[in-house]
Amino acid sequence: KRRLTVCVVGSGGVGKSSLTVRYLNNHFPEFYDPTVEESYITQMEYGFDAHDVEIVDTAGQEEFMLFRDTALAQGDAYLALFAINSVSSWYSLQELRDKIVREHEDEENIPMVIVANKSDLEAYRQVEFGEVSEYCRSIKCPLVEASAKTGLNVTEGFRMLMDRVSEIQPVK
Ligand code: GDP
Ligand code: MG
């Protein structure tokens, strides 16, 4: 079987690169080029075994024109981010979710976890937790509030996604 591809998605500046680097290297990068799409191979556990997983830290999704050709359309599982201090990133995430589902032959049960990032910026919150959790319930998608900066719930977010992979695509 080909290796599992996890795409980290969300609009520019929500913290995709920061969260990915925090997960893989346990530090918060000071600067990360927002235009670069990076891909990492790591080992993750799902279906009771460790497997090679490719994590794609996507970039440049503001240009949806060539969506079909991007890594975004080819993921097996998605960590979908918005930032709690950006209402526009929250709206973008909902559009993104619809595009991903369409790209997967309207399969709504695709492994996805929604990450409300930058939870350390509570004082600047623009997106109510209640609204997000209601949306996530309606699409049956787990939700976690995280911070790439403090490290809060970063590992948990990836862990929850692997649990969804195990549930949706049981590995024999
Ligand atoms: P990307 O475009 O989605 O890859 O976003 P980046 O990872 O490049 O982050 C964009 C900006 O947000 C950078 O200045 C990061 O330092 C900052 N950032 C990322 N995650 C967090 C977080 O959890 N909390 C705070 N306060 N800032 C963050
Ligand atoms: Mg980035």
Characterise 60 by phi-psi region: left (phi > 0), alpha (psi -120 to 50), beta (else): left
The Cα–Cα gap between 157 and 146 comes to 8
Which ligand gives the minimal distance to the CA of 157?
1
Which ligand gives the minimal distance to the CA of 29?
1
Nearest CA to ligand 1 atom 16: 30
Question: What DSSP state is assigned to residue 37?
Answer: -
Which ligand gives the minimal distance to the CA of 89?
1
Global confidence as pTM:
0.94
Q: Pick from 7, 11, 14, 18 the residue to mutate for probing ligand 1's pocket: most ligand atoms within 8 Å of its CB.
A: 18
Nearest CA to ligand 1 atom 25: 118
Ligand 1 contacts CB of residue 20 (under 6 A): no
Ligand 1 contacts CB of residue 86 (under 6 A): no
Residue pLDDT, tens place only, 16-51: 999 999 999 988 988 888 888 899 999 999 988 999
* Average confidence (pLDDT) over 78-94: 97
Structure-model confidence comparison of residues 90 and 59, the more confident one: 90
Q: Tell me if 55 sits within 8 A of 6, measured CB to CB.
A: yes
Count other C-beta atoms under 10 Å from residue 121's C-beta.
15
Nearest Cα residue to 100 out of 117, 83, 80: 80
Ligand 1 contacts CB of residue 97 (under 6 A): no
Ligand 1 contacts CB of residue 37 (under 6 A): no
Nearest Cα residue to 80 out of 58, 63, 64, 52: 58
Q: Please report which helix (H) or strand (E) contains residue 18, including its range.
A: helix 16-25
Concatenate the DSSP letters of all residues of 25-82 into one string: HSS--S---TT--EEEEEEEEETTEEEEEEEEE---TT--TTGGGSGGGG-SEEEEEE
Nearest Cα residue to 19 out of 148, 120, 158: 148
Which tokens sit at 75?
């993921």
Q: Considering the chain, what is the average pLDDT of its residues?
A: 90
C-alpha radius of gyration, the chain, whole number: 15
The atom number, within ligand 1, closest to the CA of 14 reads 3
pLDDT score of 65: 47
Q: Which of 68-72, 113-117, 140-144 has the lowest mean pLDDT?
A: 68-72
